Amino acid sequence: MSARPGLWRGSCDITIPTPINKYGIHGYNSGMIDSNAPIAPGGPASRPACSMGSSTVLIFALFAALPFWKPEVSTNINDFVAYWSAASRIVHGQNPYAIGPVLELERAVGFTGSAPLIMRNPPWTLSIIAPLGFFTFVTAQRIWLIAAFFEILVSLKWLWDVYRVPGQSGFLTSVAIAAFSPIAVAITIGQISPLVLLGIAGFLRFEQKRRLGLAGVFLVLAALKPHLVFLLWATLLLFSLCRRSAKTLGMFALTVGIGSFIAVLFDRSIFTEYVNFMTREGVVQEVTPTLGGALRLWLRTYAVQFVPAMLALGWLLYYASRKIRQSKWSWKEQTPLLLMVSLLTTPYAWFFDQVLLVPCILQSIARLRTLRHGRLRNSIAGLYLGANVLAVVLIVFQRPGFWYTWTIPFWFTLFTLAWIQPARELVKTSAGVPGS
């Protein structure tokens, strides 16, 4: 079982994590969170595309600097140590899920927990992170940080191209993205979630360009945490069967197969070791701050945490099949909804995983842009900013994970308001108003 270190104390101080409640904000790879995480962009707005790019560059350049704020601190032991230790062992053909050896390796770089932070991503993840094992921990961590910085930037650029509407302010969009605290949290604690977001953004970008094979390749990155987007997999299978077009699904399966084969080349027993770790160490029994997790704690029954996911699959079977049969399915329009409902109902997720909601935010902003009634738009914006401020306050005061259970239902409520209202408004206004 992996340790769950505490939060960062102070503003930019970098400390060794300390134990916290087992339902702490960090999941299996707990880490540390900077209390100054959300940083607003600066600079005047010019043309929308330029404003979006320049603002986000400034935002995430500041994010990237946070973990190395003080030059006298040489290491920052956060979630990344789990990925680095897994990479270091796999390049030598060793089991990356072995508790004892992983703990020994992590302690050598400054980790002080009693139990190791072990990567819980599926084996094909190792084909992507394996090169990190050839570097020292400090060097690899800086490479990882820079990579996360660019993953977010590229994702934002691609999603901006997909969802922006004429007249949309790139600067205000950047402010909204900068205020979304899970982004800063994911970057600061060294999580792999930004890479998952890049997979979603790449899928949407290349699907829109009708480059379906490349769209399927990018989905492999989303499969680094497959449980977070489980409705996307079900929809992709249903879409491929109904449309008799398996190019995206086929390329996705092929790329996953190649990644798995590479992992097996390093360690022939990698899948067996992964299954043993997930089952014998009680990983699948853990409770996380999700809707299902809250139900499980309330009813004290393990199985009920899967009820929301089962209900979501039932809804999807009706909703997606009807849309697909009527030739009304649009990945651009429907993917944010799939992401939101997946994160709302998945049995296993953490606060930093909400970085995957960035497409939902950008689509909502584009929809709100079409509203003529500024009061509703301003109310939604105020509630959004206020919720992020509250999340930051909880982080500063080091509240454990289940204090954040309200966030996903709250984002879902705001997303629903933005999803429904603009559509009604557009019917009343001229047809020339651009949609999202």
Cβ(102)–Cβ(119) below 8 Å: no
pLDDT for the residue numbered 109: 92
- Determine the Cα–Cα distance for residues 371 and 421; give it in Å rounded to an integer: 8
Cβ neighbours of residue 397 under 8 Å, at least 6 residues apart?
none
Task: Report the share of the chain in percent with pLDDT over 90.
Answer: 64
- Determine the Cα–Cα distance for residues 173 and 15; give it in Å rounded to an integer: 33
Tabulate helix, strand, coil % of the chain (nearest 5): 65, 0, 30
Total-model pTM: 0.83
For CA atoms 68, 70, 71, 75, the dihedral sign is negative
Given its phi and psi angles, is residue 327 left (phi above 0), alpha (psi -120 to 50 degrees) or beta? Answer: left
Burial code (b: 16+ CB inside 10 Å, e: under 16) for 92-124 equals eebbbbbbebbbebbeebebebeebbbbbbbbb
Which of 61-70, 101-110, 139-148, 187-196 has the lowest average pLDDT? 61-70
pLDDT band (50, 70, 90) for residue 286? confident
Averaged pLDDT, 164-189:
90
Averaged pLDDT, 187-210:
96
Cβ(27)–Cβ(350) below 8 Å: yes
Average pLDDT along the chain: 82
pLDDT for the residue numbered 75: 54
- Determine the Cα–Cα distance for residues 392 and 188; give it in Å rounded to an integer: 13
Structure tokens at 217: 């390749």
Cβ(35)–Cβ(47) below 8 Å: no
Averaged pLDDT, 90-104:
94
The amino acid that residue 200 corresponds to is I
Cβ(168)–Cβ(64) below 8 Å: no
pLDDT band (50, 70, 90) for residue 340? very high
Whether the predicted pLDDT of 39 surpasses 50: no
- Determine the Cα–Cα distance for residues 176 and 156; give it in Å rounded to an integer: 12
pLDDT for the residue numbered 59: 54
Which of 111-125, 219-233, 408-422 has the lowest average pLDDT? 408-422
Element (H, E) at 197: helix 193-208
Cβ(248)–Cβ(215) below 8 Å: yes
Strands of 103-148 (E only): list them: none
pLDDT band (50, 70, 90) for residue 425? very low
pLDDT for the residue numbered 37: 37
- Determine the Cα–Cα distance for residues 166 and 366; give it in Å rounded to an integer: 9
- pLDDT tens-digit map of 234-261: 999 999 999 888 899 999 999 999 999 9
Averaged pLDDT, 360-367:
92
Closest CA to 325 of 247, 249, 239: 239
Give the single-character DSSP code of 225: S
pLDDT band (50, 70, 90) for residue 434? very low
- Determine the Cα–Cα distance for residues 360 and 338; give it in Å rounded to an integer: 9
Cβ(30)–Cβ(127) below 8 Å: no
- Distance between alpha carbon 297 and the CA centroid of its chain, in Å? 24
Domain ranges of the chain: 136-426
Structure tokens at 232: 């996307």
Which of 56-65, 330-339, 342-351 has the lowest average pLDDT? 56-65
Averaged pLDDT, 122-137:
96
118 against 62, higher pLDDT: 118
Which of 7-21, 74-88, 216-230 has the lowest average pLDDT? 7-21
Burial code (b: 16+ CB inside 10 Å, e: under 16) for 33-51 equals bbbbbbbebeeebeebeeb
